[in-house]
């Protein structure tokens, strides 16, 4: 995979995965000293009416293998409740390996002090990613599995995520992601296609559609802005 395509793949994977759940991310590390920010807003419509959610996600490349991350989200969905999260992701294996692996450790809690004391959660994740070339352009696939546990969970929460992306033309990406979130209240499935357009170097605009396949089958339209420097 060419370096430019790998950079695009890494940025897309991390940003879209971040939107899927608190502090989820891909297997590609952030370069030392590099900062990445993703700002996102979603308008959701379901049986209970409409709602607007927002999230902010950031990464910092601490070293060649260690990437720090932080996220704040404001939402009512089980898989994206209003929480603040932070942690670190550790890249495994060789820097030029075809299959990239990483592990992540983090903590998250509601923004209020009372909720933080009673609903704080510890999370551990395993991430995989691979780039490929095709007649339609360079692409990538990634998958993540996370376990979340806290005082408010009788059993660990499981969060599974997969994404496939393609870069059909310079400055464009097309992506499709699927996720499964299971807690003590049920199992939630989501499917989300997205398109990314590079407004200028290191600035991307990403509209997306998310369809819940369980519960109230709500549909949401989202818009993200990605920045790296």
Q: pLDDT per residue over 79-98, tens digit each? A: 555 778 899 999 999 878 89
Q: What is d(CA 82, CA 98) in angstroms, rounded to the nearest whole number? A: 36
Give the chain's end-to-end CA distance (angstroms, integer).
22
Q: What is the CA radius of gyration of the chain?
A: 17
Please state the length of the chain. 229
Query: Which tokens go with 183?
Result: 């807690």
Whether 116 and 86 have beta carbons less than 8 Å apart is answered as no
pLDDT at res. 180: 94
The residue-averaged pLDDT of 181-208 equals 93
Percent of residues, the chain, with pLDDT higher than 70: 80
The dihedral formed by the CA atoms of 191, 47, 150 and 57, expressed in degrees to the nearest 10? 50
Q: What is d(CA 100, CA 78) in angstroms, rounded to the nearest whole number? A: 29
Residue pLDDT, tens place only, 152-192? 788 899 999 999 999 999 999 999 999 999 988 889 899 99
Q: 4 pLDDT exceeds 80?
A: no
Q: 215 pLDDT exceeds 80?
A: no
SS3 of residue 57 by DSSP: strand
Burial 169-182 (b: 16+ CB within 10 A, else e): eeeebbbebbbbbb
Strand 35-46 relative to strand 121-134, pairing: unpaired
* Domain map (residue ranges) of the chain: 3-228
pLDDT at res. 40: 92
Whether 71 and 23 have beta carbons less than 8 Å apart is answered as yes
According to the CATH classification, is domain 3-228 in 1.10.260.40? no
- The Cα-based distances of 219 to 44, 53, 119 in angstroms read 6, 13, 28
Q: What is d(CA 190, CA 25) in angstroms, rounded to the nearest whole number? A: 17
Higher pLDDT, 23 or 124: 124
pLDDT at res. 26: 77
Count of C-beta atoms within a 10 Å radius of residue 98 = 11
The residue-averaged pLDDT of 55-80 equals 85
Q: 38 pLDDT exceeds 90?
A: yes
Residue pLDDT, tens place only, 95-150? 788 999 999 999 988 877 666 667 788 999 999 999 999 988 999 999 999 999 98
């Amino acid at each position: 995979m060419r370096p430019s395509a790998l950079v695009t793949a890494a940025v897309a994977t991390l940003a879209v995965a971040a939107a899927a759940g608190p502090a989820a991310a891909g297997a590609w590390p952030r370069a030392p000293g590099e900062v990445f920010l993703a700002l996102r807003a979603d308008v959701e419509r379901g049986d209970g009416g409409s709602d607007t959610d927002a999230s902010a996600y950031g990464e910092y490349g601490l070293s060649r293998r260690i990437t720090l991350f932080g996220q704040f989200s404001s939402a009512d969905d089980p898989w994206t409740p209003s929480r603040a999260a932070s942690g670190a992701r550790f890249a495994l294996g060789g820097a030029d390996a075809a299959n990239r692996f990483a592990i992540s450790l983090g903590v998250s809690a509601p923004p209020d002090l009372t909720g933080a004391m009673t609903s704080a959660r510890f999370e551990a994740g395993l991430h995989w990613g691979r780039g490929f070339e095709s007649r339609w352009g360079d692409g990538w696939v990634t998958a993540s599995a996370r376990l979340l546990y806290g005082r408010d969970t009788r059993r660990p929460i499981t969060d599974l995520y997969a994404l496939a992306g393609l870069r059909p033309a310079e400055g464009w990406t097309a992506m499709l992601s699927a996720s499964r979130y299971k807690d003590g209240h049920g199992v939630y499935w989501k499917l989300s296609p997205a398109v990314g357009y590079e407004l200028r170097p290191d600035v991307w605009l990403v509209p997306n559609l998310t369809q819940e396949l369980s519960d109230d089958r709500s549909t949401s339209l989202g818009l993200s802005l990605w920045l790296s420097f």
